[in-house]
Each structure stands twice: as structure tokens, then as C-alpha cells.
Amino acid sequence: MNNVNKNDHLHRIVIVGGGAGGLELATMLGQSIGKQKKASITLVDAQRTHFWKPLLHEVAAGSLNAFEDELCYLAQAKWNHFHFLLGRMTNLDKDNKTIELAPICDDYGNEVVSRRQLEYDTLVLSVGSTANDFNTPGAPENCLFLDNREQAERIHTTLLNHYLHAQASGSAQSELNIAIIGAGATGVELSAELHNAAIELAHYGLDAISPQNVKITLIEGAPRILPVLPERISNSVHKQLEKMGVTIMTGQLVSEIHQNSLVTLSKTTLKSDLSIWAAGIKAPGFLGKLGLETNRINQLVVRPTLQTTQDDHIYAFGDCSSCTITLKNGSALTIPPRAQAAHQQASLLAKSLKRVVAGNDPMNFTYKDYGSLISLSRFSAVGNLMGAVTGDMMVEGALAKLFYISLYRMHQMTLFGKVRTGALMLKDALGKTTRPHLKLH
């Protein structure tokens, strides 16, 4: 078994997980203490490229080509003074401060890189989350999921295959039934994108299934869609989805899923040619086997410093962690698994770990809720903005869409800086004039 960084004399910060938060943290630390040779920063991820997870619903519908927006980890590491290692973490040795990475095999099962050990002085876990199917019978076999780019592209390919089959069969006005389980932000945004995809596919000649015959059903166990957001936003989005023709079922739990149908607890059977699971999250299962404190959904329990409860040298943040902080009024708040929380935690850790390297204590995390924004494809956007100036202000339409797009641009600004982000914005604007409105392959 190889030891990757045994002779590195600098303080070794190892970040496992190159999602939005992990990559932002590696970039910020690399640009500061990495560039100054005060610490060695290593990012570990099982994928070769990064893609911003909140845009996966657009990839699934074909509104966005993932290959045009992915970021190569090796290139980002070179530009920002950190190291990147391709690998999947499988084990942890807290006593010797090492993590174990699984072997890397090619498409034929041949071992390319053997099992490795990686030493650390400070370990940061930011491995995100996956969908939680709550052990629903038939879900793993008969549902598509939306946890990563590969799964999003699988949804898009399956969608196109339904259209190609209908087109080739010559049957007039075929019907496509799509069921989305879970009406949180992901499920809601995906339903709107799929409605837009149905319109665009007909425009490009795949008209054997007309937009009116694409039956999208959004199923939610809570009394309303977007249950964690303010009710006025939920009601507004509900009305707009119904105008698009999306059928919304609330207060309904799915009890079993079959190849072409699903059944609710109320014994209602729905026909479904394409079932997509978008309900609930859980942290990766291997976290529960590391000898660290976890909760019922595998999240690592951390203190306000984002240090794990059982090891001061191990930090966790983002969706894979459970952090409870005390507010000014004395009440307790468990940080929600949202992109803005991961971004704020990454910014805090970038400052905090500099202090740790210098021999000082880490800082406590404070969370500020700036509101939520929901995109309804090209049709609209709805959300609320929270701040000292705006208070709690609801926004809709073009203004909300502008704020929604700015979230991704802020992520790019952290990774690339102002000049390169501006260049990417110009590239995207020019690209709209030379490519179809929908990915057709």
C-alpha cells in the first residue's frame, strides 16, 4: 500500500470531497497559505471534474450541457496552488492520522492505481449527500436519481429514448408519464425544466409526443410543496406549476415503485414511464464506519467550530455534516443542508484553518439565511431575499431569475476571480447564438 505524502514537512490539510464547498475551500486555502508555502493543501475526489450540483436538474432536462460547464480538478489545482488526488476514501485511522483510498480501476476492471494511504495533520470531510429513498420497495431498481452528473445525464438519455421510440413507432400522439417523487427545490425545478424540454423537443421535430401529452406528476409527502420554504412562496410556485400542466399531489407517500407504475400509501396507483426520486437526503454510508459520531442519516455531528465531536483534527461541513448552533435569542438552529450554508462554512473554514496552521484556535460558525430562490425554467423564478436592508422580501419573475443566476456566478467568482468569470459569462452569452436551446444527444 502506497503512502502518498509521507515526507511532506508542511502542515498537511486534506480535503475529501470536491463539491461546491470542498472545491471553494481548497481554492481559497491554496491561494493563501498554499501559495505562501505555509501549508500543503490536497483535495481528494472520486471524479476527475467538478460540476455545480444545483444545476443538475438542467442537465437532466437537457437545458444545460454539462461538458461545457464542468471544471477539471487538476487544472484548478495547478492554477490555485493545491494538489489534487483522484480517489475514493474508504477508511480512516485517527491514531495515525491517515485516510485510505480505494484502488482505481479502468472500465474493464483492471487496477490502474493500487490502494493508497494519505497522511494529514488536519482532515476536512465535505463529501456531500445522496438521495434517501427510505428503503421504499422498488426504488433502487425502478427509479432514476439526481445525485451527480452521470445520473443527470442518464435521465436525459432515458427521456430522449422515449421520444425516439415514439417517433420510430409511428404511433400518433403517444403519451409520456413522468413521476417525480419529492417536491423540494430539486423536484420542483426539475418538473419545470422537463415541461420546457417537452416544448423544445416538439420544436425540434420530435413531435410524436406532444407537450400536452407529457404528463408530469409531482408527489410530496408533506401538506404542501417546498415545505421548508415560506408558505407564500410555496403557494406561488404551486399555482405556476399547475398553469404549466404539472399535476401536484401533496400529503402522499410512495409505498412501492414498479417498472411502469408506482403506488402510494393511500393505495392510489399511478402510471409512470419515467420515475425520478428527488425526496430526502442522507450522507454517504461509509461515514458511519469511521469511528466518528453520526446521526440517523449518516451525517457527521460537528461542533460550532465544524470540528467533529470525537476528534479535534477532523472537520466536516456541508450536507455530510450536522451542525447545531445557538442563536442570539438563545434558541438552537441546526444548519440546513443548502448550498448557501456550505458556501458560508467554506468561507469560515478558509479563515479558521489559517489560524489553526498558525497555532491558534479555530473560529465558531455563524449562519446567515439570505433567503431562497426557485427557478421555474425559462418561465419564471420565485423566492425570498433576507437581509438587513431588504428584510424578508418576496421576489418573482425577471428579478428573481437574475438573483438565481447570480448564485452560480458567485460560485464561479470564488473559483476563478472576476476577470475569468466575466469571460465565462461572455462565452455563455455567445454560445446561446450558436447551439440549440436543448441538448439533443
Would you state the pLDDT for residue 8? 56
Classify 315 as helix, strand or coil.
Answer: strand
pLDDT grade for 4, boundaries at 50, 70 and 90 = low
Is it the case that residue 239 has pLDDT exceeding 70? yes
Q: What letter represents residue 256's amino acid?
A: E
Q: Count Cα atoms within 13 angstroms, Cβ side, for 159.
A: 33
Average pLDDT in the chain: 93
Would you state the pLDDT for residue 437? 84
Would you state the pLDDT for residue 388? 47
Is it the case that residue 110 has pLDDT exceeding 70? yes
Is it the case that residue 313 has pLDDT exceeding 60? yes
Q: How far is CA 35 from the centre of its chain?
A: 29
E-strand stretches of 103-244:
104-105, 111-113, 116-119, 122-125, 130-131, 176-181, 214-220
Domains, in order of start, for the chain: 8-129+283-366 (3.50.50.60), 131-281 (3.50.50.60), 372-431 (no CATH)
Burial 228-264, CB ≥16 within 10 A → b, else e: ebeeebbebbbebbeebebebbbebebeebeeebbbb
Q: How much of the chain is in helix, strand and coil states, percent to nearest 5?
A: 35, 30, 35
Which of 351, 358, 314, 416 has the alpha carbon at shortest distance from 39?
A: 358
Residue 255 CA to residue 267 CA, distance in Å, equals 8
Q: H helices within 86-148, ranges in order? A: 139-142
Is it the case that residue 429 has pLDDT exceeding 90? no
List CB contacts of 295: < 8 A, sequence separation 6 or more.
301, 322
* Residues 362-414: tens digit of each pLDDT: 999 999 988 899 999 988 999 988 764 455 788 888 888 888 889 899 999 99
List CB contacts of 342: < 8 A, sequence separation 6 or more.
19, 20, 21, 126, 317, 318, 319
Is it the case that residue 193 has pLDDT exceeding 70? yes
Residue 320 CA to residue 300 CA, distance in Å, equals 6
Task: Tell me the average pLDDT across 36-51.
Answer: 97
